[in-house]
Amino acid sequence: MVPVIALVGRPNVGKSTLFNRLTRTRDALVADFPGLTRDRKYGRAEIKGHEYIVIDTGGIDGTEDGVESFMAEQSLQAIEEADIVLFLVDARAGAMPADHAIAKHLRSRQKATFLVANKIDGIDADIAISDFYGLGLGEIHSIAASHGRGVSSLIETVLDPIFQFKDEQQNNFVNDESFNELPESYDDLVLDDTQSLINQPIKVAIVGRPNVGKSTLTNRILGEERVVVYDMPGTTRDSIYIPMTRDEREYVLIDTAGVRKRGKVTETVEKFSVIKTLQAIEDANVVILVIDAREGVSDQDLSLLGFIINSGRSLVIAVNKWDGLSQDIKEQVKTTLDDRLDFIDFARVHFISALHGSGVGNLFDSIQEAYDCATRRVNTALLTKIMQMAQDDHQPPLVCGRRVKLKYAHAGGYNPPIVVIHGNQVEDLPDSYKRYLMNYFRRSLKIMGSPIRIQFKEGS
């Protein structure tokens, strides 16, 4: 499971600043579900190739009396959802009554909690933080969120029990510099990796806003007689993993909605959980984003979409409740979808009725295609040839009077496929040329259903 870190603390201690710094590593993206989550913001972040989710809780109002008012409900909720809590205090302001109230609440929860003194830039940190030992939370980690000081090492410290960064540094051959000098042998080295990916069941997450028809779709896919077997109450945090076989391929459905007995109605808002959804996306190979044809594409759908795209997972879009719509309405819905989904060119869109079953079987063709494209092994020679063709068709621009030169390309990972391009001044390439290369690779490799990433490495 992808770990979840919640940022809590009084208003103005620097939670949003830290949130932005952590999540912007790859285009800050925020899944914001107004109404469902109040002010909680969810973002994904990465450290040393490992993903985690950050929740920002906005502010805890410290102006009134009592623990409950200090801990606005959304903060309490975020603490429950998280594996790790970073409790931020303002090193310049010293320990305030609200800090004590928050500390008391955190001590009563059995959560991994780290006390973080922010804004230590330009002050004597040792003196400033001594005030906070009285909060009774042990060691104090000092950072300056707005400058980035101490931030990476803080995150490494809090996530080390989960990711074991220290062991990894010794074992991970990808981090070995000499690796890059041997492009030809790269494919031999990654072969085992892809082979093992291909032989595993395809993990498919079914996600979407409340009421779009996720449970109905899951039930439909599984066939109703199996529903009862898996009718177990999902906890608020954990999705249910359901193994299944179809046309001799093995799948694991990640059910974020909670399969229910027919007729048994659960309150939608309660069963929907953003964290569950985001974790399911991170853990999946292919994500089915379910959209309600009758509601169109909402801002919430777009935030989810943003999250999926940034996660690099393969994507199939299912526009559900396509039954009983007039031809006129269908045309209208299609036009609006085209407008709003214009920016994703790689995902197949299916019009289905989970209720009646139409179109559901075809989803699997796209799931399989997306997975196969995302995990297909491509060798260095072919990637370099495609790169060369792209370069011949359209020369890279001059940067500071010198022409950028692409030298060779090799695979850097799968699901999503990563193409690593080595050359001179490649890091200075304008975004427009990077996009051109990405589209060129996508078309040449016929990658459908999966995003593709290009990384640039200076030199050879």
User: Hey, what are 74's tokens?
Assistant: 């959304």
1, 12, 111, 231: which one binds ligand GDP (CB under 6 A): 12
Angle between helices 299-311 and 274-283 (to 10 degrees): 30
Indicate the residue among 28 and 448 with the shorter CB distance to ligand GDP: 28
Query: What b/e sequence results for 259-276 when a residue is b if at least 16 CB atoms lie within 10 Å of its CB, and e otherwise?
Result: bbeeeeeeeeeebbbbbb
User: Hey, what are 372's tokens?
Assistant: 């196969």
User: Hey, what are 148's tokens?
Assistant: 């980035």
- Does 15 show up as a binding residue in the annotation? yes
357 binds ligand GDP (CB under 6 A): no
268 binds ligand GDP (CB under 6 A): yes
- Does 397 show up as a binding residue in the annotation? no
Q: How far is the CB of 279 from ligand GDP (least distance, A)?
A: 17
- Does 136 show up as a binding residue in the annotation? no
- Does 430 show up as a binding residue in the annotation? no
Stated as kind and residue range, the H or E segment containing 458 is strand 453-458
User: Hey, what are 437's tokens?
Assistant: 């290369």
15 binds ligand GDP (CB under 6 A): yes
1, 39, 165, 210: which one binds ligand GDP (CB under 6 A): 210
Indicate the residue among 14 and 451 with the shorter CB distance to ligand GDP: 14
Stated as kind and residue range, the H or E segment containing 407 is strand 405-413
- Rounded Cα–Cα distance for residues 23 and 14 (Å): 14
- Does 11 show up as a binding residue in the annotation? yes
Peptide bond preceding 3 in cis form (omega within 30 of 0): no
Q: How far is the CB of 202 from ligand GDP (least distance, A)?
A: 21
**8 Å CB contact between 351 and 359:** yes
75, 113, 216, 303: which one binds ligand GDP (CB under 6 A): 216
- Pick from 384, 387, 370: which is nearest to 446 by CA? 370
296 binds ligand GDP (CB under 6 A): no
Stated as kind and residue range, the H or E segment containing 454 is strand 453-458
Candidate ranges 5-13, 36-44, 396-404, 416-424; the one touching ligand GDP (CB under 6 A): 5-13
Indicate the residue among 273 and 391 with the shorter CB distance to ligand GDP: 273
Stated as kind and residue range, the H or E segment containing 219 is helix 214-222
Candidate ranges 44-52, 69-77, 104-112, 213-221; the one touching ligand GDP (CB under 6 A): 213-221
- Rounded Cα–Cα distance for residues 247 and 344 (Å): 29
Q: Determine the length of the chain.
A: 460
Q: How far is the CB of 201 from ligand GDP (least distance, A)?
A: 23
Considering only residues 269 to 288 of the shown chain, the ones binding ligand GDP according to CB under 6 A are none
- Does 121 show up as a binding residue in the annotation? yes
Indicate the residue among 77 and 375 with the shorter CB distance to ligand GDP: 77
Peptide bond preceding 416 in cis form (omega within 30 of 0): yes
- Does 17 show up as a binding residue in the annotation? no
Place of tokens 């299916």: 350
Candidate ranges 24-32, 62-70, 154-162, 349-357; the one touching ligand GDP (CB under 6 A): 349-357
Considering only residues 106 to 165 of the shown chain, the ones binding ligand GDP according to CB under 6 A are 118-119, 121, 144-147
Q: How far is the CB of 146 from ligand GDP (least distance, A)?
A: 4
Indicate the residue among 308 and 354 with the shorter CB distance to ligand GDP: 354
- Does 256 show up as a binding residue in the annotation? yes
Q: Cα-atom radius of gyration of the chain, to the nearest Å? A: 24
- Does 209 show up as a binding residue in the annotation? yes
- Does 216 show up as a binding residue in the annotation? no
Count of residues near ligand GDP by CB under 6 A: 32
- Does 423 show up as a binding residue in the annotation? no
- Rounded Cα–Cα distance for residues 273 and 318 (Å): 20
Please count the other Cβ atoms lying within 10 Å of the Cβ belonging to residue 245. 9
- Rounded Cα–Cα distance for residues 109 and 304 (Å): 30
Place of tokens 């009718």: 231
36, 76, 190, 355: which one binds ligand GDP (CB under 6 A): 355
- Does 258 show up as a binding residue in the annotation? yes
207, 354, 370, 374: which one binds ligand GDP (CB under 6 A): 354
69, 152, 157, 211: which one binds ligand GDP (CB under 6 A): 211
- Rounded Cα–Cα distance for residues 322 and 62 (Å): 49
- Pick from 451, 244, 210: which is nearest to 344 by CA? 451
Considering only residues 367 to 396 of the shown chain, the ones binding ligand GDP according to CB under 6 A are none
Indicate the residue among 13 and 373 with the shorter CB distance to ligand GDP: 13
Number of helices and strands in the chain (H, E): 17, 18
For the annotated binding site, the residues are: 9-16, 56-60, 118-121, 208-215, 255-259, 320-323
For the annotated binding site for GTP, the residues are: 9-16, 56-60, 118-121, 208-215, 255-259, 320-323
Residues that bind ligand GDP (CB under 6 A): 9, 11-17, 59, 118-119, 121, 144-147, 208, 210-216, 257, 268, 320-321, 323, 353-355
